């Protein structure tokens, strides 16, 4: 599911941080929230400050 923004596979995430503007608010999401939580930690370690992770992932937003 893509709700907009930039899609960066986790396998490429650490090497593609230049695609993300440090001045913007960043909302990360994946299916379950595990990979996006890891990605959020990478951003915070690299000087990003406005970082949010969608807890429990995109499945939380899925309407039955």
Would you name the residues annotated as active-site residues? Answer: 30
Dist CA 7 CA 44 (whole Å): 18
Give the ranges where the chain is alpha helix by DSSP (H): 34-45
28 neighbors 36 (Cβ within 8 angstroms):
yes
């Amino acid at each position: 599911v893509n709700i907009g923004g930039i899609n960066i596979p986790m396998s490429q995430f650490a090497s593609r941080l230049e695609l993300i503007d440090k001045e913007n608010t960043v909302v990360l999401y994946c299916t379950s929230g595990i990979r996006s939580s890891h990605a959020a930690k990478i951003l915070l370690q690299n000087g990003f400050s406005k970082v949010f992770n969608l807890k429990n992932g995109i499945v939380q937003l899925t309407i039955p």
